A and B are shown apart, each in its own frame.
Chain A
Amino acid sequence: MELADRIERFRKTIEEWLRGLYHGMISHPAYEKIEKEAEDAEDAFMLACFPDAFGIPSPVSYYTSELLPYIEDEFESWERRLWDRDSYIERKGQQYHF
C-alpha cells in the first residue's frame, strides 16, 4: 500500500472522529437544548389553551377546544412530559450530560 493511501485513510478516520466528537459534544447537546426549549414553549402554549385540565376554569377553553382535533401529537406528548416531569430543576438538569 502506498504511503499516500495510508495518509489518506488516516485523515479520513481522524475527520470522522472529529466530526463525531463535535456532534456529540457541541452540536447534539445544543440541538437537544433547543428542542427542549421548544417543548417547554409548547407546554406553555398547551397550558394557556387548556388550564381546565388543572382545574382552572378558563373562559377561552370553549374556543381553544376547537384546536383539539389538530394537536393530537402535541396533546399526547404534553401529557407524557407532565407525567415525566418531577420538577423544573430536574427538567433543566436533563440538558447536561456529566
Chain B
Amino acid sequence: MEPFVFFGGKGGVGKTTVSCAYAQRCARDGHRTLVVSTDPAHSVTDVFDQPFDDSPQPVAGIEGLDAVQIDPEDEVTRHLDEIRQNLSEQVSAAMVNEINRQLEMAHGTPGAYESALFDRFVDVMRNAEPYERVVFDTSPTGGTLRLLGLPELLEGWIDRLMHKRRTSIDLFEKAAVGTNEPRRVMHGDPVLERLQQRKEFFEFAGSALDDDAAFFLVLNPDELSLNETERAIDDLTEKGLDVRGLVANKLTPSPDDNENGRGARYLRQRVETERERLETIRTDFEPPLVAEIGWRSSEIKGDLLDDVADELDIETAVEPPTHV
C-alpha cells in the first residue's frame, strides 16, 4: 500500500488511537514508521505515555517507530517570524510597520492554521526519506482533510497571480522610455520566483496525495458520526481523493447470553442498533469497512494498542513513494 496513510474523521471518534495502533503494527512488521499528529490535545503523548514535540523522536519500547507532534499555533508563529526576519533584512525601517500590519492580518485570517498544517504535512512527505511509512493523524477540524483536496485549486490560483504579475512587469518594461531603467524587470523578479516555488510545492503536494497517499476514515456507530462520514467521503471523492476504507471504533460489547440484568438488556439493545448501523455502512457506503474495534474498559495504551492493531484489517506492506 501507499507510503502515506491518513486517518480522518469526526472529533472524538478515536483517530489517534487507530493511527497509533496502525503505526505500531507497521513498525512491528518491520517498516520504519513515523506517526504524525496535529492534535493540539497531545493525544499521541497520552497513548504512548511519553512527551513528543515537533521533531521526530523514537517511541520507547517499539522498534522502528517515531512520533512527531505538530502544534498548528507554533507553526503559524514560526511562519510569521520567518517572514518578519526576511522583512527586516529587505525592507526599509519606515515601511516595516506598514507591512507588518498587513502581515499580522494575513496570519489572523481563518484558515491560517489549516495552511500551516498543510505546509507541515507536505514538508513531512517531502522529507520522508528515512521512513518507509508515514501515518498522519489529522486534526478533527474538518479543515485539514478538506485542505488536502486543495492543491489543484491553489496551483490555479498561483498561476493566475503569476500571470497578473507578468502582465504588469511586461507593461512596465514597455513603458520605460529609451534608455531609462524600467520600474520592474522580469528577469530575476523575486516575487515571480517565490510564486514559482510555491507552485512547485503545491504540484508536489497534489501528485503525492494523488499517487502516494491512502485515506481512511474513523467513525463511531452513531447517527452523527455516520452522517459526517458520508459527507467526508463525498467531499474527498469530489476532490479526487478516494477513501480506502472505514474503521468503526467504540463498538459496544455484547453481554453473555445468560445475563439478563438491566445492564445486560441495555447492552443487548445497543449492540442491536449498532449492528443495524454497521449493516448500513456495509451496504450504503462505498469504501469497505476494514475494522471493527470494540470499547475497551480502560484507556487504550500499551498492550491494548496491540490488540487494537490486530483488529485492523489494513495491510502494512509498503510501496516506495513515486514522487519523492
A residues lining the B interface (CB < 8 Å): 27-28, 31-32, 34-35, 37-39, 41-42, 44-45, 48-50, 52-53, 57-73, 75-76, 79
Pair B164/A44 contact, Cβ less than 8 Å: yes
Contact of B78 with A by CB under 8 A:
no
Contact of B32 with A by CB under 8 A:
no
B residues lining the A interface (CB < 8 Å): 79, 83, 86-87, 89-92, 95, 98-99, 102-103, 105-107, 109-112, 114-116, 154, 157-158, 160-161, 164-165, 167-172, 174-175, 177, 183, 190-191, 194-195, 198
Q: Quick one: which of B112, B158, B191, B198 contacts A71, CB cutoff 8 A?
A: B191
Pair B198/A41 contact, Cβ less than 8 Å: no
In the bound complex, CA of A58 to CA of B109 (Å): 7
Pair A68/B99 contact, Cβ less than 8 Å: yes
Residues of chain A contacted by B170 (CB below 8 angstroms): 38
Residues of chain A contacted by B172 (CB below 8 angstroms): 35, 38, 42
Residues of chain A contacted by B110 (CB below 8 angstroms): 57
Residues of chain B contacted by A73 (CB below 8 angstroms): 183
Pair B89/A67 contact, Cβ less than 8 Å: no
Jot down 28 A-B pairs with beta carbons below 8 A, ordered by A.
A31-B175, A31-B177, A35-B172, A38-B174, A38-B183, A42-B172, A49-B161, A52-B102, A57-B109, A59-B111, A60-B154, A61-B106, A63-B158, A64-B106, A66-B83, A66-B198, A68-B87, A69-B83, A69-B86, A69-B87, A69-B90, A69-B99, A70-B191, A70-B194, A72-B95, A72-B99, A73-B183, A79-B98
Known contacts A41-B167, A69-B89, A76-B98; A62 and B109 CB within 8 A of each other? yes
Interface of A is mostly: helix
Pair B171/A35 contact, Cβ less than 8 Å: yes
A61 CB to closest chain B CB (Å) equals 4
Point out which of A31, A63, A67 has the most chain B C-beta atoms below 10 A from its C-beta.
A63
Point out which of B106, B112, B175 has the most chain A C-beta atoms below 10 A from its C-beta.
B106
A77 CB to closest chain B CB (Å) equals 9
A37 to B, closest residue via Cβ = B171
B151 CB to closest chain A CB (Å) equals 12
Pair A70/B106 contact, Cβ less than 8 Å: no
Q: Quick one: which of B89, B95, B195 contacts A75, CB cutoff 8 A?
A: B95
Q: Quick one: which of B83, B91, B164, B183 contacts A65, CB cutoff 8 A?
A: B83
B193 CB to closest chain A CB (Å) equals 9
Residues of chain A contacted by B90 (CB below 8 angstroms): 69-70, 72
Residues of chain A contacted by B83 (CB below 8 angstroms): 65-66, 68-69
In the bound complex, CA of A58 to CA of B135 (Å): 30
Residues of chain A contacted by B87 (CB below 8 angstroms): 68-69
In the bound complex, CA of A39 to CA of B109 (Å): 27
Pair B102/A38 contact, Cβ less than 8 Å: no
B167 to A, closest residue via Cβ = A41
Residues of chain A contacted by B95 (CB below 8 angstroms): 72, 75-76
Pair B91/A38 contact, Cβ less than 8 Å: no
Residues of chain B contacted by A53 (CB below 8 angstroms): 102, 105
Residues of chain B contacted by A60 (CB below 8 angstroms): 154, 157
Pair B102/A65 contact, Cβ less than 8 Å: yes
A52 to B, closest residue via Cβ = B105
Pair A70/B175 contact, Cβ less than 8 Å: no
Residues of chain A contacted by B194 (CB below 8 angstroms): 66-67, 70
Pair B164/A48 contact, Cβ less than 8 Å: yes
Q: Quick one: which of A45, A52, A71, A72 contacts B106, CB cutoff 8 A?
A: A52
B169 to A, closest residue via Cβ = A38
Q: Quick one: which of B89, B103, B112 contacts A68, CB cutoff 8 A?
A: B103
Residues of chain A contacted by B111 (CB below 8 angstroms): 57, 59, 62
Pair A45/B190 contact, Cβ less than 8 Å: no
In the bound complex, CA of A31 to CA of B183 (Å): 13
